[in-house]
């Protein structure tokens, strides 16, 4: 079982609120495109914003786990290429707020503090989509005060915020072996354990 599977499973739990455990043989069934596509209809869609060097691999791991994705990235051709891979259902969103509105749980993997602030606050940005019941899992590596600002903006709109910077690079993102360092304000209300 990959570390990304364990940690992303735990993160999905933090923002999904249910329990599910896959055995190694069942987990292997979720690795192929056909299995992911057949399982995708039974999974709740997840959002993913930021399909750069790290985000592409992370999004593929979610697709292989059977989650349909709603995605937005600054380079629309990258999102279209992910959709064309056929790993599972990928809906291309016109804006970050459209992704957040469409999904109860959205992962973000943005490259710099400046990009994070822009994507959160721009017209059609992340914050426009945040409402009660929406949870964001931000995987950027930012200064504590930057994460604190983003968290306060999300919480002020009734959303939930999980700070989840990763340790690893493109290879581990593709292989599902990133390590997440997570912090969340209200852990008991976010859910139970889920493993892939």
Question: Using H for helix, E for strand and C for coil, what is the string for the chain?
Answer: CCHHHHHHHHHHHHHHCCCEECCHHHHHHCCCHHHHHHHHCCCCCEEEECCCHHHHHHHHHHHHCCCCEEEECCCHHHHHHHHHCCCCCEEECCCHHHHHHHCCEEEECCCCHHHHHHHHHCCCCHHHHCCCCCEEEECCCCCHHHHHHHHHHHHHCCCEEEECCEECCHHHHHHCCCEECCEECCHHHCCCCEEC
40 or 182, higher pLDDT:
182
Average pLDDT over residues 31-39: 39
179 or 118, higher pLDDT:
118
| Number of structural domains found in the chain | 1
For 150-184, write each residue's pLDDT tens digit.
Answer: 999 999 999 999 998 888 788 778 878 788 788 77
98 or 167, higher pLDDT:
98
The CATH number of residue 158's host domain is 3.40.50.720
Q: Domain of 55?
A: 3-195
């Amino acid at each position: 079982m990959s570390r990304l599977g364990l940690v992303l499973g735990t993160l999905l739990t933090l923002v999904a609120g249910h329990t599910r455990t896959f055995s190694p043989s069942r987990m292997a069934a979720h690795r192929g495109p056909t299995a992911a596509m057949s399982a995708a209809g039974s999974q709740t869609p997840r959002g993913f914003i930021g399909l750069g060097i790290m985000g592409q691999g992370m999004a593929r791991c979610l697709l292989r786990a059977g989650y349909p994705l709603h995605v937005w990235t600054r380079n629309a051709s990258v999102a279209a290429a992910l959709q064309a891979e056929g790993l599972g259902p990928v809906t291309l969103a016109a804006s970050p707020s459209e992704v957040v509105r469409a999904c109860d749980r959205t992962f973000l993997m943005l490259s710099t503090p400046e990009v994070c602030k822009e994507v959160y606050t721009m017209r059609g940005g992340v914050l426009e989509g945040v409402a009660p019941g929406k949870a964001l899992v931000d995987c950027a590596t930012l200064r504590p005060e930057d994460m604190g600002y983003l968290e306060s903006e999300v919480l002020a709109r009734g959303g939930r915020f999980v700070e989840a910077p990763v340790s690893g690079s493109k290879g581990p993102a593709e292989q599902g072996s990133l390590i997440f360092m997570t912090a969340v304000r209200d852990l008991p209300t976010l859910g139970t354990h889920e493993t892939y």
